[in-house]
Amino acid sequence: MKAPKVMSHIKPAHIVCSKEDIAQVVIMPGDPLRAKYIAENFLENAVLVNQVRNMYAYTGNYKGKRVTVMGHGMGMPSVSIYAFELFYYYGVEKIIRIGTCGALQPELEVPDIILANESYTESNFAYSYNGDPTHLSYPTKSLNEKIKSVAQEKGIKIHEGSVMCTEQFGFYSDNEHVLQRVPKEIRLLGEEMETFALFHIADSFQKESAAILTVVDSKYKETFLTAEDREKSLNTMITLALDSI
């Protein structure tokens, strides 16, 4: 199904800059401060191009490639707003989400990296968005293959598999009853809160998307990355995404 139509007089309300300020490739962490960290530590000639609602977006160069790094907030409603505006109003061709997740399999350790090859949700997000009753969404296969190739070249171990996109933070809810309802043919590696919406919206525009996720906690382990740890200890995932553009 295609993306919903927008009335012609409606302008983007959450990203305010010129179309030329946004690169065609966007790397999206959830935390806008992580976008700031990436711009300051990985990009050359980075310029702040959006700060509406403090959702920072920076455009600069990485190894000669123009790229925008922008936060998307927490949850499907938030990421859907920014992904939609980037694709619809700013002509973005590719979005790679770099986020955090909780492990749902005992073999995963903190801070292992997951490359999502599908995202499952119980949410009716897709049905509300464009009438699609699906509860599964998918990244772009060619982009995932590129990320896997770069990971192999750089010696980065990644786990490829399914993730669950929830509407609440797992540790703050009784999510065991949710996990028990997941179709048995889906083996979930991790849970997070945004990937389903990103994949579904990208597909509706026939644009590219992917999600690289770092495990920061686990239902099987007591290890837990703090907010301070998360901001600056995710460099492997960041460089993997940047080198894959």
- CA-wise closest residue to 210 among 240, 230, 183, 185: 240
> Does the annotation mark 217 as catalytic?
yes
pLDDT at res. 139 = 98
Given the residues 31, 203, 217, 243, select the one marked as catalytic.
217
Rounded to the nearest integer, the mean pLDDT of the chain is 95
Assign residue 155 a region (left: φ > 0; alpha: ψ between -120 and 50; beta: otherwise).
left
CB atoms within 10 A of CB 88: 18
- pLDDT tens column, 188-238: 999 999 999 999 999 999 999 999 999 998 888 877 777 766 655 689 999
* Domain 19-243: assigned CATH number: 3.40.50.1580
Residue 70: closest CA among 20, 33, 104: 33
pLDDT score at 231: 59
Q: Which two tokens stand for residue 167?
A: 């509407």
How much is the pLDDT for 190? 97
Q: Which residues of the chain have pLDDT under 50?
A: none
Q: Which amino acid is at 201?
A: I
Name 47's bridge partners. 59
Other Cβ atoms closer than 10 A to 194: 28
84 token code pair: 């939609």
Cα 171 to Cα 101, 114, 176, 184: the distances in Å are 11, 19, 10, 22
Helix, coil or strand: residue 117: strand
Other C-beta atoms within 10 Å of 152: how many? Answer: 11
Q: Tell me the backbone φ, ψ of residue 210, rounded to 5 degrees.
A: -155, 165
pLDDT score at 232: 56
What is the pLDDT, as a whole number, of residue 39?
Answer: 98
Residues 6+ apart with CB under 8 A from 223: 109, 110, 217
Instruction: Give the C-alpha distances (Å, rounded to integers) separating 29 from 3, 82, 83, 111.
Output: 23, 12, 12, 16
pLDDT of residue 170: 81
Show me where the domains of the chain are located: 19-243
